[in-house]
Amino acid sequence: MATLGMMGWLSLVLVADSSATPTVQRLLGVATWLVLLLALRRFSPLVRMQTLVVVVFATVVEFVFSQGLGVYEYRFDNVPAYVPPGHGLVYLSAWALGHTAVLVRHQRAAVGVVTGLLGAWTLVALLDPVRPDVLGAFWFVCLLAFLRWGPSREVYVGAAVVVTWLELLGTRLATWTWQAEDPTGLVPIGNPPTGAAGGYGWFDLVALLVAPMLLALMGRSEAGRSRDPDPGPDPLPDPDVVAR
């Protein structure tokens, strides 16, 4: 239910943004931050930290690849205000979906389904004579590697579903559009790239590896403060002792 709620919110935001003004887009950003903060209350400190890492890292990537390199563009040639918190909700959705009891119990079958469907789509798009999706094929290979050797197969299974759905919806609504090729002109790109979940998997990898270290550092910092409490100001001398 948590996954459906978060994915449902993101889907509604994309639909609303497809015809929104810049002001409405900013309001969607405020609302999405509130939804993210409410959603985080349901998760452990580790997952919260992972989500924070995704938000920070993904936002940097957004500005570099959208605003800087122009690999894809949003409607108003900006990074919409709902995108940073939206990345947090994407991660939480993927985490929650991948950790549902049915997918954990049938994980091997789930991996087979998502890789089979995405693999078929990737092959068809790669062989497109007009716009062969080379970047999507590369990212699909990344997804296979993450599913095989990544630190959390559950997260990557969930991301394969969540990211693919949102990419299909967002590009269909023209909320964002991928360019036909990368800045070098050497790598053709689909709209959307078929293996987008594999590209997004790098966000997940950074979060899964960095978040535990950040929590450990915070824990050591807290422990250090508890061992060395602030003694406060030096006590005033006893006037009787000074007199003697």
Q: pLDDT band at 220, cuts 50/70/90? A: confident
Q: Write down the pTM of the prediction.
A: 0.90
pLDDT range class, residue 239, cuts 50, 70, 90: very low
Q: Are 166 and 14 in contact (CB under 8 A)?
A: yes
Residue 244 has pLDDT above 50, yes or no: no
- Is the pLDDT at 110 greater than 70, yes or no? yes
- Write the burial class of residue 208 (CB in 10 Å: 0-12 exposed, 13-18 middle, 19+ buried): buried
pLDDT of residue 230: 53
- Alpha-helical runs (H) found in the chain: 2-17, 22-40, 45-62, 83-98, 101-105, 107-126, 134-149, 153-172, 196-227, 239-243
Averaged pLDDT for residues 68-86: 97
pLDDT for the residue numbered 2: 81
User: Which has more pLDDT, 82 or 232?
Assistant: 82
* pLDDT above 50: residue 242: no
22's CB contacts (< 8 A; 6+ apart) are 76
pLDDT value at 221 more than 80: no
Q: Taking the alpha carbons of 38, 44, 47, 48 in that order, is the dihedral positive or negative?
A: positive
- Rounded to 10 degrees, what is the CA torsion of 199, 149, 97, 19? 0
